[in-house]
Protein backbone atom coordinates (compact mmCIF):
# COMPACT_ATOMS: atom_id res chain seq x y z
CA UNK A 1 0.00 0.00 0.00
CA UNK A 2 1.27 3.48 -0.86
CA UNK A 3 2.30 5.68 2.06
CA UNK A 4 -0.06 8.61 2.69
CA UNK A 5 1.44 12.00 3.52
CA UNK A 6 -0.05 15.03 5.24
CA UNK A 7 0.88 18.62 6.05
CA UNK A 8 -0.74 18.13 9.46
CA UNK A 9 1.93 17.56 12.16
CA UNK A 10 2.03 14.01 13.52
CA UNK A 11 1.63 15.43 17.04
CA UNK A 12 -1.89 16.52 16.03
CA UNK A 13 -2.81 13.82 13.52
CA UNK A 14 -1.01 10.79 14.89
CA UNK A 15 0.95 8.36 12.75
CA UNK A 16 -1.99 6.56 11.11
CA UNK A 17 -4.55 7.94 8.72
CA UNK A 18 -8.17 6.79 8.98
CA UNK A 19 -9.19 4.08 6.54
CA UNK A 20 -11.37 5.46 3.73
CA UNK A 21 -14.97 4.41 4.17
CA UNK A 22 -16.11 4.79 0.56
CA UNK A 23 -15.42 6.50 -2.72
CA UNK A 24 -18.04 8.56 -4.51
CA UNK A 25 -18.12 9.76 -8.10
CA UNK A 26 -20.64 12.38 -9.20
CA UNK A 27 -21.20 13.12 -12.87
CA UNK A 28 -23.28 15.74 -14.64
CA UNK A 29 -24.09 16.37 -18.29
CA UNK A 30 -24.11 20.03 -19.31
CA UNK A 31 -25.46 21.61 -22.47
CA UNK A 32 -25.48 25.19 -23.74
CA UNK A 33 -29.03 26.02 -24.78
CA UNK A 34 -28.42 29.48 -26.23
CA UNK A 35 -27.01 32.83 -25.21
CA UNK A 36 -25.96 32.27 -21.59
CA UNK A 37 -28.59 29.61 -20.78
CA UNK A 38 -27.19 26.24 -19.71
CA UNK A 39 -28.91 22.98 -18.81
CA UNK A 40 -27.38 20.53 -16.36
CA UNK A 41 -28.53 17.01 -15.59
CA UNK A 42 -27.40 14.58 -12.93
CA UNK A 43 -29.26 11.38 -12.10
CA UNK A 44 -32.97 12.18 -12.55
CA UNK A 45 -32.59 15.92 -11.85
CA UNK A 46 -32.45 18.71 -14.44
CA UNK A 47 -31.40 22.25 -13.60
CA UNK A 48 -30.75 25.44 -15.54
CA UNK A 49 -28.47 28.42 -15.10
CA UNK A 50 -28.45 31.80 -16.78
CA UNK A 51 -26.56 35.05 -16.46
CA UNK A 52 -28.01 38.50 -15.79
CA UNK A 53 -28.95 40.69 -18.75
CA UNK A 54 -25.89 42.88 -18.21
CA UNK A 55 -23.74 39.80 -18.94
CA UNK A 56 -25.66 38.73 -22.04
CA UNK A 57 -28.18 36.42 -20.41
CA UNK A 58 -31.88 36.74 -19.78
CA UNK A 59 -31.77 36.33 -15.98
CA UNK A 60 -34.44 33.59 -16.03
CA UNK A 61 -32.52 31.12 -13.84
CA UNK A 62 -29.90 31.27 -11.07
CA UNK A 63 -26.36 32.26 -12.05
CA UNK A 64 -23.85 29.38 -12.20
CA UNK A 65 -21.99 30.77 -9.18
CA UNK A 66 -25.25 30.70 -7.20
CA UNK A 67 -25.24 26.90 -7.48
CA UNK A 68 -21.65 26.75 -6.24
CA UNK A 69 -22.40 29.08 -3.32
CA UNK A 70 -25.49 27.07 -2.37
CA UNK A 71 -23.52 23.81 -2.64
CA UNK A 72 -21.08 24.91 0.02
CA UNK A 73 -23.99 25.20 2.45
CA UNK A 74 -25.40 21.73 1.83
Please indicate, yes or no, if residue 44 is contained in any of the structural domains: yes
Quote the CA–CA distance of 74 and 68 in Å, as a whole number: 10
In total, how many domains does the chain have? Answer: 1
pLDDT value at residue 65: 94
Query: What's the pTM?
Result: 0.63
Domain that holds residue 58: 27-73
9-32 tens-digit pLDDT:
777 766 666 666 778 899 999 999
Quote the CA–CA distance of 24 and 22 in Å, as a whole number: 7
Q: How would you class 36 by CB atoms within 10 Å of its CB: exposed for 0-12, middle for 13-18, buried for 19 or more?
A: buried
Please indicate, yes or no, if residue 20 is contained in any of the structural domains: no
Question: What three-state secondary structure class fits 5?
Answer: coil
Q: How far is CA 12 from the centre of its chain?
A: 30
Please indicate, yes or no, if residue 12 is contained in any of the structural domains: no
Please indicate, yes or no, if residue 69 is contained in any of the structural domains: yes
Please indicate, yes or no, if residue 21 is contained in any of the structural domains: no
- Residues pairing with 46 in the sheet: 41
Amino acid sequence: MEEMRSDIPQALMGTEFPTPVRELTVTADCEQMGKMLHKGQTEQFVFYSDEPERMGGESNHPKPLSYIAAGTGF
